[in-house]
Amino acid sequence: MSKKMHLGWFMNYAPPQWLDPFDRVNTSWTNADFHIEMARMLEGACFDYLMIEDTLMVSNAYGGSTEAALKHALQVPKLDATVLAAAVAKATTKLGVIATASILSYPPFTLARMIASLDHLSDGRFGWNIVTSGEEQAAHNVGLDALPPRQMRYDMADEYVDVVTKLLASWEDDAVVMDRDTATFVDHTKVHEVNYVGKFYKSRGPLNVPQSPQGRPVYLQAGGSPRGRQFAAETADSIVAIAQGIEGMIDYRNDVRARAQAAGRNPDDIKVMFLVTPVLGDSAEEAEAKRHKMVNTDAFITGQLGMISTVTDIDFSAFPLDEPLPPLTTNGEQGSLNKFTQGGSDKTLRELATTETGFASCLPLVGTPASVATQMAEAIEAVGGDGFLLTTPIQHLSRRYVTDITEGLIPALRDLGAVRESYEHDTLRDNLRAF
């Protein structure tokens, strides 16, 4: 029997596939019907969670214009992730639902109130994907003159999570008594002020929401740089990981587990989820042909470069497609940049944009369901855990793609004993810690 793996799905509340005449959806995506249908399919396949990504801008990073972002629907139009999380939570019963919310978007009190409410609404299945935002334009949209330096953003995030966590704990779990004999709904002695005063944030508290079913929602984080990994190791219940191949996955997981151990945490309480983009077919040749069709178009290459420009604030339209890139650094998402450039590879920009369906995949998972399942199971055995966060190539989220996974790949993984066949628990945190 293979080592069991956890599974999540990385998704945007944005338009699904809209170009393929056999697979496109119409404007109904905005009412969440498509995404709710997808969530129910993932729940049927016993995924741990659906993670809904979010950003705060219409990017003009590629070519100094919003044209590429708007023309190719690159993270825009996009609706609010927390709104979709609420809809999905009420349409499912076991699937974890994680929404992205940036520390730039909300005062800590407002964020704590929102995520506690969503944990109640989902009966303990909600999680918060903690992001600092890495886009200059996002900072401008929330009233800042400039995006804070990356190191400072993590310092801010440390403090932000600290005050949010204290606010979430400001109600004891038995504060709500509903005692009819004394006409007492809440025991006021079990609700406490926080009186938090830090370098960046302050909040009096207490929260005006009772303690939520999980005590606090699950925390998800993606850390690529050493400082990001440190923040994730100290904070997260689950980590979105981007690494290069098996050796990179081993190094990443060992690193964050060592950091967690040094911070006094049990590393087994943190589930590292490696981002992958499987492409499936009835044969290896069909899967490769499907991958080739996906990536070898001008629209796909522009989309890839537009996306990596957005998250790194580097204008990749300025570089020749058929030449290697010069050394690059960013105040944006350094981990995404490192993965995209493959650690300073001498590949051309075109090759980087079309390799393994782009920068989102830690492994080249292209083949039949059985062969891809075997690759995934062998990878988790080699790495030691914990699971995979599946996503789609840009512009290719569709019912057909989700069906390939839930009705093709998942049964193949179950044949190997590599994934759960039913949920062990009712809350997201308990399911993450089930194995």
Query: Which residues participate in the annotated binding site for FMN?
Result: 54, 100, 154, 225
C-alpha span between 137 and 144 (Å, rounded): 9
Q: Please state the residue numbers annotated as binding site.
A: 54, 100, 154, 225
C-alpha span between 60 and 75 (Å, rounded): 12
Closest CA to 138 of 15, 229, 54, 74: 54
Which pair of tokens denotes residue 390? 């599946």
Beta bridge partners of 97: 50, 126
Which pair of tokens denotes residue 268? 């087994």
C-alpha span between 195 and 88 (Å, rounded): 34
- DSSP for residue 189: G
C-alpha span between 399 and 404 (Å, rounded): 9
Long-range CB contacts for residues 351-356, cutoff 8 Å, separation at least 24: 352/325, 353/295, 353/300, 353/301, 353/304, 353/305, 353/321, 354/295, 354/296, 354/300, 354/301, 354/304, 356/277
